[in-house]
Each structure stands twice: as structure tokens, then as C-alpha cells.
Structure 1
Amino acid sequence: MERLGWTLVSAGERALELTRLAAAAAEDKKGTELVALDVTSRMPLADVFLVVSGSNERQVVAIAEGIEESLLEHGAKASRREGVREGRWALLDFNDVIVHVMHQEDRAYYELERLWKDCPVVALD
């Protein structure tokens, strides 16, 4: 099956598990507006984008660090991390899952969900 010229493939079980663990860790640190998008069919580098909002710089840092700690406990270490210290837009790359923890103002400005609107939403139980 194809949509807009892309072959539809769904995220792997490990990616979905890591996404749910990251989402739970984000919620523990009071992260809001969590959205997970299955980008498998659009991006060869990852299966899922998880986007989370924080209301201020300290919270963005706390959310990002909480996610890293949680996933490390489950055997997943970020292969790349950017922007964590600045607390505006932290990017955590766990290979199959890329987590964007964004200050609310930056999230409203960049509108990542709009850029990836053709991707299916992953249910976060």
C-alpha cells in the first residue's frame, strides 16, 4: 500500500516500547502535549518521533534527562543528544526513536507536527 508515493511501513516493536517508556518518563517530569509519530515510511533514520513540551528551560532539561535515565535503564543509550543544556529544544536520538523535548514557545513556532502531518500517530497508552 502506498500513500503520497511512500510505502507504508509501521514502527518496530522495540521502537514502540522505547517510545512508550520515553513518554512515561516525560509525563513523570510533567511534560505536556505528547505526540508520537510513526515516521518509518518517511525517514530511513528512525521509526518514531516523540515530541514533548516543557513550560520553561529547567523543565525541558529535567524532561530530557528523565527520558535519558529511563531509557538507559532499559538498555537504550542516546547515540546523539543536542540542546539539552540550553533548555529550549533538546533532541535525543535513540536510533529507532528520536525525542524532541521543546519549550512551549519553540514548539508553537516550529510546528513539527504540521511538518510530519502525513505520518500516523502512535498511541501512547
Structure 2
Amino acid sequence: MGVSETTRDLVQVAAEAAERTGAEDMVSLDVSDPLPLIDAFLLVSGRSERNVAAVADAVEEAMLERGVKRLRREGRQQARWVLLDFGDLVVHVFQEEERSFYGLERLWKDCPVIPIVQPVRSE
């Protein structure tokens, strides 16, 4: 089926918000074929519980500014793995240990990668 342009734009919005807050190792996957109700996953890592929480909050705020409300949020209290469900896009914000342990990239390795455009920074 493939990811819509709208979802690609939302992936970019979420990735930019995550990057501004110090997220690392961003990967976005087109999961529309195996998961008919979701188009894309965005996987990002934070360095600490505080960083994971800040990244999740920044992504949620950026999406709300675009008029996209969060449908569900899990894991915010412990901030080891926060899941943000925006319907067509699900954002996973991990601490590195959890990301390695659960290995979503391995589970979804057959799904196409959605390119994330790195913003140009002016100095």
C-alpha cells in the first residue's frame, strides 16, 4: 500500500522535534503492508530517562501544532520506552538499552525505510 505524503510529512515533523531535543539514531519504517491500521513507525533513542521524556514531550507538542492529536501514550512515567500513537504514525522513544533489547528494527527488518531529511542548520 505505501505511506501517504501526509504521513511522510508527519514523520519529518516528529523527527525534527526529536532531533531538536537531543534524540539520536532515528529510523522510520513503512509498516503499512503488515499493519493495515498504521502507516509508519519512527524509532528514536534518548540518552537518559529525562531525555526520553523531553523528546516524547517535544514530539507531542510539534504534532499538536500541526493539528494532530495523540491517540494514546504509554511509558511516560518510567521514560524508558515511550510510545506515542498518532494514528497513522507511531513514535517509539527509547533509552538505548530498551531499544537494543526489544529490537524493533530486527522485528520489522523487511519493511522499507522512510527517509528522514536532516534539517539544514544556519550558523
TM-score normalised to the size of structure 2?
0.93
For the pair 1:84 / 2:80, whether they are aligned, the reply is no
Gaps of 5+ in 1: 1-8
Question: Which residue identity is paired with 1:21?
Answer: V
Q: Distance in 2 between matches of 1:42 and 1:50?
A: 16
Map of 2:110 onto structure 1: 118
Map of 1:59 onto structure 2: 51
Q: Distance in 1 between matches of 2:40 and 2:80?
A: 21
Map of 1:48 onto structure 2: 40
Question: Which residue identity is paired with 1:98?
Answer: V
Q: Distance in 2 between matches of 1:124 and 1:99?
A: 14
Deviation at 1:49?
0.3
For the pair 1:69 / 2:61, whether they are aligned, the reply is yes
Identity percentage of aligned residues: 49
Q: Distance in 1 between matches of 2:37 and 2:87?
A: 7
Q: Deviations over 1:40-90 (max 9, x none)?
A: 111012100000000110000000000000000000011000111211000
Map of 2:121 onto structure 1: none
SS in 1 for 2:55: helix
SS in 1 for 2:61: helix
Q: Distance in 1 between matches of 2:78 and 2:6?
A: 29
CA RMSD for the aligned pairs? 0.6
Structure 1 residue runs of 4 or more that deviate by more than 3 Å after TM superposition:
none
| Number of aligned positions between the proteins | 117
Gaps of 5+ in 2: 118-123
